[in-house]
Amino acid sequence: MSDSFKTGPREVRTVGSVAPTFNAIGLAVADMAASLSFYRRLGLEFPAGAENEPHAEATAAGGIRLMFDTHSALRSFDPGYRPGPPSGGWAFLCSDPGEVDSTYADLCAAGYPPEKAPWDAPWGQRYAQVRDPDGNVVDLFAWTASAE
């Protein structure tokens, strides 16, 4: 087993008497409207008109915030900012294997680039991958009956 899969006690660094809490993921996007349209199809809710703003965010199930900032907004805070290649990867849990297939089909029909068509992964999930408007890979998955 590789070291990345080993579990065991880990030192937790604290600030004062409290450990930092994971709270948000930030994405830099080229086109806010295109990005929000994609993520709305996956069930994230953004305020009306957010597609016209330089910053938008939605709170996902579990309380983690997904924050979007346009490249131009980031450059206004940091004139040296240069967007890098897509490097994110996000996984969306679907209710069942059929929803993986239908969500994948819906996104591809809407023009989002397919990465990998739905397949039954050996770890007990139905899996598919598409790319968002900025090229980030988005995973769609559901547990299969054999894995439950």
Q: How many other CB atoms sit within 10 Å of the CB of residue 86? A: 14
Give me the pLDDT at residue 88, please: 74
85-148 and 22-82 share a CATH fold: yes
User: If you average pLDDT over every residue of the chain, what do you get?
Assistant: 86
Taking the model in full, what pTM does it have? 0.79
19 versus 125: the higher-pLDDT residue is: 125
Q: Is the model's pLDDT at 87 over the cut of 80?
A: no
pLDDT digits (tens, 9 = 90+) for 47-75: 999 999 999 999 988 889 999 999 999 98
Q: What is the dihedral of CA 113, 100, 142, 121, to 10 degrees?
A: -60
Pairing between β-strand 65-70 and β-strand 55-59 as defined by DSSP bridges: antiparallel
CA 138, CA 130: separation in Å to the nearest integer? 5
- Which whole number is the average pLDDT over 115-142? 94
- Residue 80 tokens, joined: 């040296």
- For the cut 90, the answer to whether the pLDDT of residue 16 exceeds it is no
CATH number for the domain formed by residue range(s) 22-82: 3.10.180.10
Residue-level pLDDT at 10: 52
Please report the pLDDT score of residue 83 as a whole number.
Answer: 85
For residues 101 and 111, give the distance between their C-alpha atoms in angstroms, rounded to a whole number. Answer: 16
Compute the distance between CA of residue 82 and CA of residue 77 in angstroms, rounded to an integer: 12
CATH code of 85-148, in short, is 3.10.180.10
Alpha-carbon distance of 79 to 73, in angstroms, equals 10
Map out the domains of the chain as residue ranges. 22-82, 85-148
What is the reported pLDDT for 7? 41
Single-letter amino acid code for the residue at 51: E
Rounded to whole angstroms, how far apart are CA atoms 113 and 128?
12
